[in-house]
Amino acid sequence: MAALVQIENLRKEFGNVRALDGVSFQVNAGEWIAIMGPSGSGKTTLINILGGLDTATSGQAIVDGVDVARLDEAGLTRFRAEKIGFVFQQFHLVPYLTALENVMLAQYFHSTTDEAEAREALRRVGLGERIEHLPAQLSGGEQQRVAVARALINHPKLILADEPTGNLDEANAETVTRLLRELHAEGHTILMVTHAPSMGQLADRRIELAHGHLMQIVEMSAEEEERLDHLLEQMWIFGEEGVTPELARMRQSGIHDAAGTAARLRDLGLLELRGSEVTLTERGVHRARDIVRRRRLAERLLTDTFSIADTETDSHACKFEHIISPELDQRICSFLGHPKSCPHGNPIPPGHCCPHA
């Protein structure tokens, strides 16, 4: 079966920011893919390039046999109308048109309007009674359902959803999630950006972006992940101390099965082994940095905000760093005023949210 979406070595630079740094993957027709990853990792950029809303610096994005970068303005408009259904975090409804008119507008760009079909689409998302309402007269969840009806009206080959439940409360998120599940069951191809692990779990496959790179998704146990993270963290600390990272030193600093863990990290492309000396790859550096950042932010939070005694922060922070999601990381950092160092005086690597980044 030919892939519906083919992405080859896609790069996007905004000035000197590398939003996408050589991303390749394929999506088969009928698949539901979740794109995960922290804020700023390039998820929206990827969705926008696929939908022809933005252009790549280099590389290819092919959707249903069409090389999106080769389309001119008119071709792009037709491509979006015929092949793509967008659902954004911000609903992007036209404020002075009713729910029905918003859906019919999408039909208009596609071919001809069909009011009966537009009514049916709104009934399907549970808004049969609200078709004459203006966006301002609808709740956030209802507006997002109009957006879903609008995305579906032209039977698009590909549904692109960028954090479709990001601005919704739990009940409305549940409704939109149910709609996505139904669409998937009917055979639609969905590429969805989400922060919510529970939503990611519903997809057939998860793709993780970090700093514009695709991370290999490996389903591993929490214990294994902790073991790998612990070694990466130690590598970062060796770097700060100017110590040559060797397996023997890892064992001395309390890393269990240093050789086995290092070999696993090598297989994941996070570090390189040369004799007994170990070096982080670029991706390894990014990951280690993220772990150390979460760890030190957790220490700051525990001492400054919860006044947990210094002797206890270590074991608490150790548990905490695995609970903190990339989203929470930025919120904690902002809440603490973007601290530059942990309570022990070690530097906290700045994140995307930090003004001194």
Site for ligand ADP, rule CB under 6 A: 14, 17, 19, 37, 39-45
Residue 113 near which of ligand ADP, Mg ion, none (CB within 5-8 Å, type-dependent): none
Q: How far apart are CA 193 and CA 205, in angstroms?
A: 12
- Which tokens go with 96? 């002075």
Do 216 and 24 form a contact (C-beta atoms < 8 A)? no
Q: How far apart are CA 280 and CA 278, in angstroms?
A: 7
Q: How far is the CB of 326 from ligand ADP (least distance, A)?
A: 9
Residue 19 near which of ligand ADP, Mg ion, none (CB within 5-8 Å, type-dependent): ligand ADP
C-alpha distances out from residue 247 to 149, 180, 260, 278, Å: 57, 47, 10, 7
Q: Which residues contact 288 (CB under 8 A, 6 or more apart)?
A: 232, 233, 235, 236, 280
- What residue has token string 């000035």? 15
Do 229 and 217 form a contact (C-beta atoms < 8 A)? no
Q: Is 194 in the site for Mg ion (CB under 5 A)?
A: no
Q: Is 45 in the site for Mg ion (CB under 5 A)?
A: no
- Which tokens go with 61? 């994005």
Residue 17 near which of ligand ADP, Mg ion, none (CB within 5-8 Å, type-dependent): ligand ADP
Residue 42 near which of Mg ion, ligand ADP, none (CB within 5-8 Å, type-dependent): ligand ADP
Q: How far is the CB of 311 from ligand ADP (least distance, A)?
A: 38
Q: How far is the CB of 158 from ligand ADP (least distance, A)?
A: 18
Residue 45 near which of ligand ADP, Mg ion, none (CB within 5-8 Å, type-dependent): ligand ADP
C-alpha distances out from residue 236 to 209, 315, 329, 347, Å: 21, 19, 19, 11
- For Mg ion, the closer CB: 44 or 330: 44
SS3 of 49, please?
helix
DSSP 86: E
- For ligand ADP, the closer CB: 190 or 247: 190
Residue 28 near which of ligand ADP, Mg ion, none (CB within 5-8 Å, type-dependent): none
Q: How far is the CB of 162 from Mg ion (least distance, A)?
A: 6
Q: How far is the CB of 84 from Mg ion (least distance, A)?
A: 17
- For ligand ADP, the closer CB: 40 or 141: 40
The residue of the chain with the least Cβ separation from Mg ion equals 44
- What residue has token string 């929470």? 328
- Give the angle 105-99-184 at the CA atoms, nearest 5°: 80
Given candidates 12, 23, 36, 44, which one binds Mg ion under the rule CB under 5 A? 44
- For ligand ADP, the closer CB: 166 or 239: 166
- For ligand ADP, the closer CB: 48 or 102: 48
Q: How far apart are CA 298 and CA 290, in angstroms?
A: 12
Which chain residues interact with Mg ion by CB under 5 A? 43-44
